[in-house]
Structure 1
C-alpha cells in the first residue's frame, strides 16, 4: 500500500510531478516518468491536459520489436497476462484488471497508473508477467507500456465477469451480464465522415483508482491527446443488471474544430431483413444493432433502422439539448439470426443520456459500405453545431447504459421489425414495419389507427394496415415508388384521432 510518507522518502522528496509527466508524454518520452510515485487529486489529469494543449503535438513511438511487429490476430489474442500479472486479483475490492499487451493493430502505448490513498504509481511493464503463445520471445522486450486494459467484476459468488475493455485510440467497450461484446464507444471523434479525413484522438495515459467493495465502482481517469485537442476524462463504471458508465470530460482545443463528435459509438451491420444487399448467407441477419433510437429535446421518440449501404450515407438529425440517443439491438431471438458463433442477439444496446445543456447540434449517423464482419460500419455521435474554438476549454458529461434495453422507452407503440423487398410493380420497393404496444391488443382501439406516411422525394403508391390484437401488434405494409430518384426519405407514425400513438419510423431508401 502506498503511503504519503513514501513520496517524501523517495529520492529525498524529489518525485516527478504529474505535470512533468504530462510534459514528458507530450514530448514522446513516457519513460521519463517511469516508476514515479506522485500525488494525485481531482485536478491532476485536468492540469496535465491543459499543459499538453499548450505544446505542439508529438506522436508517441508506436514501433514494436521484431517478434511483436506485424502479428496476426490469432497470434495476438494468444498473448495474455499470467495470474501474477493481474491487478487486484487477491484484493477484496471487487474488481480485477488485466493489462493488455501491445501488438496486432494495438501498437500505440498507453501508460497505466494505479491510484491509492491520494498517490499514483506507474505500472511497470514486465514481459515475464505475460504468456506469449507461439510468439518467439527469446529476447524479452523492455519498457513497452501497454495497449490498454480489461476490467472484470467479481460477483457475490466469487466469479469474475468482464465489464469493460479500454484499448486502441480512445475506444472502449462494455456490456451487461450475459452479453457478448458488440458496440464500441469512443472518448471523442474528430471529422468522422469528413472528406478531409478523420483524426483519431487517443488515450496517452490512464489513472485507475483502487476500488472498494463498499463503493462497488471503478473510476478511470484518462488523458486524451491528438493533433487538434487534448482532454481530461473521468469514467465511473457501475456494474449491475446494466453496466452504467458516467463520463465527464474537459476538452482543450489546440486549433479551431468544426467537426467534433461526442458520445461516439460504432457497430456492425452486414445484412438484415430490411436490406440484404448482396447477402448470399444462410443466416437470417448479421447485425449488432437494429437501429438508432433518439429522444429529441422536444420529446419526440424517433426510430431509424440502420443498414449496410452500397454507398456511404450520412444522415443528420438536427436537435437542441437532446434527451437521449443510442444504438439498440431490439431483436433478442436466436432464430432471427441463426448464428451459433456470433450470437448477434446477445450484443449490448448502448443508450446515452446527456447531462447538462448540450445546446444546438445534431445526431449524425454514418452508414458505411462493408463486406467484412469485424468492421464496425455504422457510426453515430452528437455533433456540436458551433464546434470548439482554439484556446477555449469545453466541458461535457453524459451517462452510458450498456444494457439489454434502455432505462426509458417510448410510452406508445414501438417498432419491433422492419423488412424490405421487391414491390408490387416494376422499380417499386415494398416495406413492412411492425409495431407493438399493449393498446394494440384492444381490437376497438386498433381499428381507429391510421398510418401517417410520407416519402420525399418519391411517393407512397399503396399502403395497408394489418392489426394482430392477439399479439398486441400492428403491421404497416406499403410500396414506395421512387419516381426515378436514387434516394427517398420516408417517415411513418401511427395516429389515432389525429394524435401520434407510436414512435416515428424514419428510413432512407437508396438505389
Structure 2
C-alpha cells in the first residue's frame, strides 16, 4: 500500500452486471445470504462468515481472500450462495458471475454457546460496526475520515480487499487484514477481534498520503442523536429520548475526564478538544434505562458504547466532535475522531495502533463521580416569562466520591464560561446520594454559543469528572 501511494488512484472497474446495477432498495433487501453456505461452517470453529450481495448502492466490489499457512487464496461467491425473495426471480441470478461482494459479517457464539450471533460487519466504504454481549447495532466506526466538515467535499476511502486468517478450531480471536484506498490516501490495516461482554478490536493502521489532506480523521466514530433529556426542542414524540449515544468522553493523559453531552443543533456545530497523547476517547450510551426510551423495537438502551484507547503515542492533536442537524433518527448526525496536528501533506506516513472496545460499559474506571444527567429549560423562576438570553442548566453527578457526603458537605462548583455570565447558581444533594448543580446563565449574544466547563470540588480538589457543554440556538 505504501508503494501504491506513489501511483495515481485507480477506481474500481466500471464493468458491473446490469442485473446487479439495476437492483432497487426493496429488491436488494430481499436478498439474504444462505447460512448453510457460510464460510467455515463445517470446520467446527467459533467463527463463520457470510457475504453481502453486491448491487443497489454497493457497486464497487470488495475482494475477499482466505489466508491458510501464510498463503492467500481468493474466495468467490455466486448466486447459489444467496436466497432471493420476492419480488425477485431466483433464476435471473442463477448463472451470474459475481464481480465481488458488497461486504461481509462474522458470526460467533457471543450471547449463548449454541447460537452464532452477528459479531462484526464490514459494509460500505470503510464502515464497520461490532457488538458486545447483549448489544444491538448502533454506532459505526470507519477506517479513516478525510476532510470531514470542511468547506470542500469529504472523501470516503474504502476497504477494497480483505484477507482473513482461517480461524483454528476453538480459536477465541479472529485476525484479518484490509487494504484501504481513495484518491488521496492508501492504508494497510490489521484487525484482531476478541469477542466478549465487551468486544475488543485491536487495530494497527498504516496510512500513506498520495496528496495533501486538510483534515485527517483517525479512529472515526459515527452515531445518531435526535433528542434527549438535554435537547428535545421541536420534537413531538411519546418517547423521552432517541439516540444511539448520549455523550463524548475524553480521558486526558493526566487522568482528567471530560464529559460532553451530545446535541442535535440548529446548525452544524464543531467542537475541538486539544490534547497530547490522549489516554482515550469514545462515544458512550450511559443511560441504560428502558423507561427513558420507551422504544420496544429500536432498544436504544442496548446500543453499544465505543471506547478508543491509543496504544502507541499519538502525539499532539485534537479530538473533533461534529454535530449535524437532523430531523429523523435514520440520519447519523454525530461524528468524532482524532485529528493529528501535523503530517497531512503528500508523501507523509502515519502509524496508529489502538484498541476499540465495544459494549455496554467499556469506559475505564474512575474514583471520580460521573455526570449522570443533563437537563435544560428556560431560565429564572418557573412562573417567569421566558427570556431568550437566559437559560437554566441542571447537571447531576453520581458516584462513590459524592454518595457518602452529607448534605452539609462544602461541595462547590468549579465553573468557567465563555460568552456568558452566571445569574444564579447552587449545588444540592439529592435523595439517593447524587448531587445537582443548578445554573441560570445569561448569554452575551444570541448568535454566539456559550461554552461551559463545570466540575464539583471538595476542599479545592475535583471530585467529579468535568462537564463541558455548548449552548447555541434554543437548547
- TM-score tier (shorter): over 0.9
Alpha carbons of structure 1 residues 99 and 439: separation in structure 2 relative to 1, 3 Å: same
Q: TM-score, normalised by structure 1?
A: 0.87
Instruction: Call closer, same or farther: CA 1:467–1:74 in 2, change over 3 Å.
Output: farther
The aligned counterpart of 1:30 is none
Aligned CA distance change for structure 1 residues 299 and 474 (closer, same or farther; 3 Å): same
Bigger relative contact order, structure 1 or 2 (CA pairs below 8 A, ≥6 apart): 2
Q: What is the Cα deviation at residue 66 of structure 1?
A: 4.1
In structure 2, what is the equivalent of residue 494 of structure 1? Answer: 456
- For the pair 1:169 / 2:125, whether they are aligned, the reply is yes
Superposed displacement of residue 196, structure 1:
1.3
Which segment is superposed worse, 452-461 or 190-199? 452-461
Say whether 1:274 aligns with 2:230: yes
Tell me: CA distance 1:75–1:480, structure 2 relative to 1, closer, same or farther (3 Å).
farther
CA separation of 1:347 and 1:446: change in aligned 2, threshold 3 A:
farther
What are the superposed Cα offsets for residues 357-412 of structure 1, whole Å, 9 maximum, x if unpaired? Answer: 11110000000011131211000000011033322322110000001112513321
Aligned to 1:197: 153
Give the deviation of 1:55 after TM superposition.
Answer: 1.7
Select which of 112, 123, 145 maps to 2:100: 145
Q: How far off its partner does 1:62 sit?
A: 5.7
- How much has 1:178 moved relative to structure 2? 0.9
Equivalences for 1:222-261 in 2 at 5 Å? 222-261=178-217
> How far did residue 484 of structure 1 move?
2.7
Distance 2:348 2:401 in 1: 51
TM-score, normalising length: structure 2: 0.94
Secondary structure in structure 2 of the residue aligned to 1:50: coil
Residue 439 of structure 1: CA displacement?
Answer: 3.3
**Retained in 1: the 8 A contact 2:428–2:436?**
yes
| Residue of structure 2 equivalent to 1:103 | 55
Task: State the match for 2:69 in structure 1.
Answer: 117
CA deviation digits over 1:310-338, x for unaligned, max 9? 10001000010000000000000001011
Structure 2 contact 367–401 (Cα < 8 Å) conserved: no
Separation in 1, partners of 2:240, 2:295: 8
Residue 4 (structure 2) pairs with residue 52 (structure 1): yes
2:444 pairs, out of 472, 483, 493, with 483
In structure 2, do the counterparts of structure 1 residues 130 and 212 end up closer, same or farther at CA, with 3 Å as the change threshold? same
Task: Find the aligned partners of 2:175 and 2:401 in 1 and give their Cα distance.
Answer: 43
Give aligned pairs, total.
462
Counterpart-to-counterpart distance in 2, 1:384 and 1:375 = 27
CA distance in 1, matches of 2:105, 2:329: 23
Structure 2 CA distance for partners of 1:51 and 1:283, relative to 1, 3 Å: same
CA 1:333–1:65: 2 relative to 1, 3 Å: same
Give unpaired runs (5+ residues) of structure 2. 381-385
Q: Distance in 1 between matches of 2:350 and 2:38?
A: 36
Alignment partner of 1:136 is 2:92:
no
Residue 328 of structure 2 is matched in structure 1 by: 372
- Residue 92 of structure 2: SS of its match in structure 1? coil
Q: Secondary structure at the match of 1:419?
A: strand
Once the two structures are TM-superposed, the CA of residue 74 in structure 1 deviates from its matched residue by 4.0
Where structure 1 has 5 or more consecutive residues not aligned to the other structure, the ranges are 1-48
Matched residue, 1:186? 142
Matched, 1:458 2:420: yes
Q: Which residue of 1 aligns with 2:383?
A: none
Distance 1:264 1:130, change over 3 A: same
Q: In 2, distance between residues paired with 1:415 and 1:70?
A: 50
Range that drifts further, 56-65 or 110-119: 56-65
Show the counterpart of 1:390. Answer: 346
Distance 1:105 1:484 in 2: 44
Structure 1 contact 439–472 (Cα < 8 Å) conserved = no
Q: Compared with structure 1, are the counterparts of its residues 73 and 411 closer, same or farther at alpha carbon in structure 2 (3 Å cutoff)?
A: farther
Q: Hey, what's the Cα distance between the residues in 1 that align with 2:183 and 2:265?
A: 31
Q: Could you tell me whether the CA contact under 8 Å between 1:67 and 1:136 is conserved in 2?
A: no
Residue of structure 2 equivalent to 1:309: 265
Counterpart of 2:41 in structure 1 is 89
Q: CA RMSD in A?
A: 1.7
Q: Is the 8 A contact 1:92 1:212 kept in 2?
A: no
Partner of residue 300 from structure 1, selected from 256, 264, 273: 256
Q: Identify the range of structure 1 (243-252 vs 445-454) with the bigger mean alpha-carbon deviation.
A: 445-454
Does the aligned pair in 2 maintain the 1:317–1:364 contact within 8 Å? Answer: yes
Deviations 1:264-286, CA, capped at 9 Å, x for gaps: 00100011111113111110010
2:290 equivalent to 1:347: no
